[in-house]
Amino acid sequence: MLICAACCIGCTNRANALPGAPAAALVAPPIDRLDLFVRNAAREAVELTMTRDTRGTTVILARPAYDKRPPVVLDSIGPAGQDTDMVVRLLNSFDLWALNAPDAPGAACRTVMGQRSCSITFNDYSLVMRVQSGREVRVQRYTRLEKSTSNRSARALGDFVFEWARMRERQGQRP
C-alpha cells in the first residue's frame, strides 16, 4: 500500500500554513496517522503504520513481501491507551509534520509552478511518508539518503525505523 502511495505522492498540493497566519498555526498538530516506507537500496525495506483514535494507538511494523518472500509482521502494538516507548521516542525525536511539508528541505518532491514534481530513483536509500492530522494530510518522499548531502533528519528517521525492525528481529530469534 505504501509503495502505491510512493507512486502517487505527487498528487497532493497542500500548503504549510496560510500566508499571514499567526505563529501558533505553524506548530505541528497532533498526528492521527503515520504511514512510512523506508528502503535501503534493494537489500532492506520496512513499513510502519501508526494510527491514533479513541481506542488508543495502534502500530504495525513489517517487512513487506519481496522476491517471493511473504510479508513479515515484526511488531504489532495496540490499540494501547498509552503510546509505547518506541512511539514516544519516534514522535519526540522527529518533526514528522515538517518532514512532510510540500517543499521540505532535501525532499525529492517540490512544488513547481503550482504542480507537484518528484524525482524518481531506484536502488537508493529512500523514505516515503504520509502523515495525517484530522482532515489535513501531507505526503513527502526523500531519496538518496545514503549521500552526505541528504536531509539528516530524514536519514535519521529511516535509520530509527530500520533499527526498530532489526531489534524486533533479534528479539524474535531468541529461544
> What pLDDT digit, counting tens, does each position of 114-137 carry?
777 887 777 889 999 999 999 999
Give me the phi and psi of 134, to 5 degrees please: 60, -125
At 19 the three-state DSSP class reads coil
* Predicted pLDDT at 28: 60
Average pLDDT of every residue of the chain: 80
Enclosing domain of residue 73: 2-8+28-172
Is residue 22 in a domain? no
Distance of alpha carbon 153 from its chain centroid, rounded? Answer: 12
- Cα 89 to Cα 20: distance, rounded to the nearest angstrom: 33
Query: Could you give the number of structural domains in the chain?
Result: 1
Supply 103's cell numbers.
517543499
Is residue 15 in a domain? no
**Residues 84/90, Cβ–Cβ less than 8 Å:** no
Tens digits of residue pLDDT in 51-83: 998 888 999 999 998 778 888 899 888 888 888
- Cα 60 to Cα 4: distance, rounded to the nearest angstrom: 18
pTM of the model: 0.77
Q: What is the mean pLDDT of residues 4-28?
A: 41
Is residue 95 in a domain? yes
* Predicted pLDDT at 27: 56
Is residue 89 in a domain? yes
Give me the phi and psi of 81, to 5 degrees please: -65, -30
Is residue 19 in a domain? no
